[in-house]
Amino acid sequence: MLHLLPAAHFSTEHFINRELSLLAFQRRVLAQAADAAIPLLERLRFLCIVSSNLDEFFEIRVADLLEKVRMRVLTGGPDGRTPVDTLRAVEAEARAIMTEQYRLLNEEILPELAVKGVHFLRRAEWTEQQAAWLYDYFEREVLPVLTPIGLDPAHPFPRVLNKSLNFAVELEGLDAFGRNSGYAIVQAPRTLPRVIRLPSEIAGMEYGFAFLSSIMHQHVGELFEGMQVLGCYQFRVTRNSDLFVDEEEIKNLRQALQGELPQRHYGNAVRLEVADNCSDKMADFLLGQFSLYRRDLYRTPGLVNLVRLMQVPDWVNRADLKYAPHVASLPKVLHKHYDIFESLRKQDILLHHPFQSFEPVLQLVRAAVDDPQVVAVKMTVYRTGNDSELMECLVRAAQKGKEITAVVELMARFDEEANINWAARLEEAGAHVVYGVFGYKTHAKLMLLARREDLPDGRSGYRRYAHLGTGNYHARTAKLYTDFGLLTCDEEICADVHEVFKQLTGLGKASDLRHLWQAPFSLHPRLIEAIRAETAAARAGRKAQIVAKMNSLLEPQIIEALYDASAAGVSVDLIVRGACALRPGVEGLSDNIRVRSVVGRFLEHSRIFYFHAGGAELVYLASADWMERNFFRRIEVCFPVRDAKLKRRVIKEGLRPYLADNCQAWEMSPDGAYRRRTPRTTRRAAQEDLQRELAGPRPAD
């Protein structure tokens, strides 16, 4: 059946392809791995991050393109490229990125690490003593958990897990039963580490490592006694990892997902990676097993899974090869023995992670357990991690009989299993657990506490305290991602948060919120309205300015509104970490728009929207990027920073340093290419400057 999508309403020349823009971001991350000014082990980490990002890109974006090609969809996104054209361009760029990755690894990073005393021992380099130790390791730790599978009619090709390490073996000769299919598959158990550290006295150095793949190659003959091994080749397959649940068919989302999650490991194959020494005969055989084509084959000059090197920097205790430790501070309003409620009654508290600690948020949640005056907590749960003190606090608070409501997003990609487990534990503890609104991901980051207090009018009642954030309730990522969080007991803001929770847990019409902009209702029209207000001001000859920071900018109506603003004379600065479909600096279209991306030690994650508004300077923080999914298929919240002092802080910390950055900033050209800025005089790096500026007293233990 031939599928035709409706034509775009906007000129295709106005937009850059989303997938190619995402790969351009991977290029910028890869540049960190190539930067000699960055410590060596951190360069290795950036290299692994690129591999992890590419894995997800193939699992989701390439899988979607392949599905569209299979369904014969002929039109694409706003840029006008067909799925076939996009797929071809994506494959070429992905290969180029992978080629550069392995060049950096093999020609720069690994040799330089060896000079520094961190050596990855190749088989050809093993001394007799090292070889003996590794053989003993193979017999003790590896051999007992291997299951070699010789392929014949009784042993069909095994089901291969998504992204798992496997070995394809070519054999010659007859076994004990007279069989010789010529092929066997050995799957590396997931319990085995992919990198093994040798004792220093055996390695001859403090840090000597061997790859599991090297050990397997060396001793694979032990698995096929009496037969000749002609070749042993690493391979792994990447599969479609998107989950699908039918709204009309399911009655319980959690049960449906629990049934669907195991199948994620066995979705349709989208990419086959093999070691570059793999024979064409074996490569063709493997492609046939996974119903893939030659275009889906990627040969790697080294490990087929660089993500597994991500742990190495944590294993190596060498301060000279890593970033200096970062210790988050507390805002000056808080001190070691602060009372979070007393502090919030005095003023709102703005937290800028990871430069400032996540501890005040944890303190607010601990109050749900320890403070007898806190009677209820409501919270959205998108990503918290498997080991979360915050979630443990909610469980204990529910066990104590407090009213705990958790809006758990079960469709948070790659966190579904963790969220299902937390939902079950919370329910067992007596919490109210809901899963938001089916068909709309609950991506808003909200928490609301009700505490019994003496109110200003002298009566006893409930005062509400809220946290609203741009990032997740995940203590680990709060140390790695840049985000803002607002702690407040502003009754009007808290009332809006309360209304959002009513929508998420109950039924009824959407309420008009006083201050919050909410997707899928008011966020998109309010942003369009704010952009048009700046446009009207510019046309009237008044100062007009928009500055926005986000992860992705793709939504066509927003982009066209920004083009109109530029044509009217509005100064538009966009700080977009990842994919950006808007073309800046096009004469007559976007002369007044500048786009930059900042890539540094921490992952830029905060969303900040600034509008000059005739000098009022409206500043909003949000959980949403400017994408269709965030505006129309997710529940998101955009909230104002009302306190003048905190508003100045957001501008000073969240926008100005990034506009001044001349080291880690990349400027976008009209064709979608990026050029890294270099300092002419004074060096300015936003993240480094913020680390210095916000350094302060260590957070309380």
Which CATH number do you get for residue 550?
Answer: 3.30.870.10
Q: Are residues 489 and 595 in the same domain?
A: no
Confidence band of 90 (pLDDT split at 50, 70, 90): very high
Per-residue CA distances from 268 to 165, 182, 200, 238, 292 (Å): 17, 26, 44, 9, 10
pLDDT in tens, 581-639: 999 999 999 999 999 999 999 999 999 999 999 999 999 999 999 999 999 999 999 99
Asked whether 556 and 9 are in contact (CB, 8 A), the reply is: yes
Question: What band does 86 get if pLDDT is binned at 50, 70 and 90?
Answer: very high
Would residue 5 count as lying in a domain? yes
Closest C-alpha to 490, from 350, 648, 635, 339: 350
Instruction: Based on the fold, state whether residues 98 and 201 are members of the same structural domain.
Output: no
Q: If you average pLDDT over residues 68-89, what whole number do you get?
A: 91
Q: Is the pLDDT at 361 greater than 90, yes or no?
A: yes
Residue 183 DSSP SS3:
strand
Average pLDDT, the chain: 90
Report the pLDDT value the prediction gives residue 604, as an integer from 0 to 100: 97
Higher pLDDT, 262 or 644: 644
Using a 10 angstrom Cβ sphere, with 0-12 exposed, 13-18 middle and 19 or more buried, the burial of residue 306 is: buried
Classified as helix, coil or strand, 363 is helix
Residue 21 lies in a domain: yes
Q: For position 112, what pLDDT does the model report?
A: 97
Q: 67 and 140 share a domain? A: no
Residues 18 and 158 placed together within one structural domain of the fold: no
Rounded to an integer, the average pLDDT of 116-144 is 95
CB-count exposure of residue 293 (10 Å: 0-12, 13-18, 19+) = exposed
From the number of C-beta atoms within 10 Å of its C-beta (0-12, 13-18, 19+), residue 429 rates as middle
- What pairs with residue 118 in β-bridges? 207
Q: What is the pLDDT of residue 457?
A: 74
Measured distance CA(12)–CA(82) in Å, rounded: 12
Is the same domain home to 354 and 460?
yes
pLDDT band at 532 (very low <50, low <70, confident <90, very high): very high
Q: What is the pLDDT of residue 699?
A: 45
Query: 9 forms bridges with which residues in the sheet?
Result: none
CA 254 to chain centroid, in Å, comes to 23
Residues 352, 443, 605, 612: which is the catalytic one? 443
Residue 613 burial (CB count, 10 A): 15
pLDDT at 474 > cutoff 60: yes
Of 510, 527, 558, which residue sits at a domain end? Answer: 510
Domain that holds residue 413: 340-510
What are 428's two structure tokens?
A: 């067992």
Q: How far apart are CA 464 and CA 374, in angstroms?
A: 10
Provide the pLDDT for residue 648: 97
Q: Give percent of the chain with pLDDT exceeding 90.
A: 73
> Which tokens sit at 424?
């079950």
Asked whether the CA dihedral 365, 520, 69, 87 is positive or negative, the reply is: negative
Mean pLDDT of 84-110: 97
Give every CB contact of residue 186 below 8 A, 6+ residues apart in sequence: 146, 147, 148, 149, 166, 167, 169, 216, 220, 223
| Terminal CA-CA length for the chain | 63
* Same domain? 56 vs 22: yes
Residue 307 predicted with pLDDT over 80 = yes
Question: Residues 659-686: what's their mean pLDDT?
Answer: 95
Question: C-alpha angle with apex 61: 51 to 32, nearest 5 degrees?
Answer: 30
Q: What is the pLDDT of residues 419-457, one digit of tens each?
A: 778 888 888 998 998 887 878 889 999 999 999 998 777
pLDDT of residue 262: 52
pLDDT the model gives residue 178: 61
Give the end of a domain, one of 98, 116, 134: 116
Read off the pLDDT band of 97 (50, 70, 90).
Answer: very high
| Domain count across the chain | 4
Q: Are strands 374-381 and 403-408 parallel, antiparallel or unpaired?
A: parallel
Confidence of residue 6 (pLDDT cuts 50, 70, 90): very low
Is residue 538 domain-shared with residue 600, that is, in the same domain? yes
The domain boundary, picked from 510, 545, 571, lies at 510
Using the predicted structure, report yes or no on whether residue 412 has a pLDDT greater than 80: no
- pLDDT top residue among 235 and 267: 235
Per-residue pLDDT, 603: 96
- Residue 247 is predicted with a pLDDT of 46
Peptide bond preceding 354 in cis form (omega within 30 of 0): yes
Are residues 391 and 351 both part of a single domain? Answer: yes
Average pLDDT over residues 230-245: 84
Q: 252-300: per-residue pLDDT in tens? A: 544 544 444 455 456 899 999 999 999 999 999 999 999 999 999 999 9
443 in catalytic set: yes
Q: Residue 589 is encoded by which pair of tokens?
A: 């279209």
Per-residue pLDDT band for 575 (boundaries 50, 70, 90) equals: very high
Neighbours of 700 (CB within 10 A): 14
Q: Residue 377 CA to chain centroid, in angstroms?
A: 28
What's the rounded Cα separation, in Å, for the pair 271 and 275?
Answer: 13
Position 121 confidence tier, pLDDT thresholds 50, 70, 90: very high
Can you tell me the distance from the alpha carbon of 699 to that of 695, in angstroms, rounded to the nearest whole number? 11
Question: In the Cβ-directed half-sphere of 474, how many Cα atoms lie within 13 Å?
Answer: 19
Q: Which helix (H) or strand (E) holds 522?
A: none
- Is a pLDDT exceeding 50 seen at residue 250? no
Based on the domain organization, do 110 and 126 belong to the same domain? no
CB 609 within 8 A of CB 619: yes
- The pLDDT value given to residue 659: 98
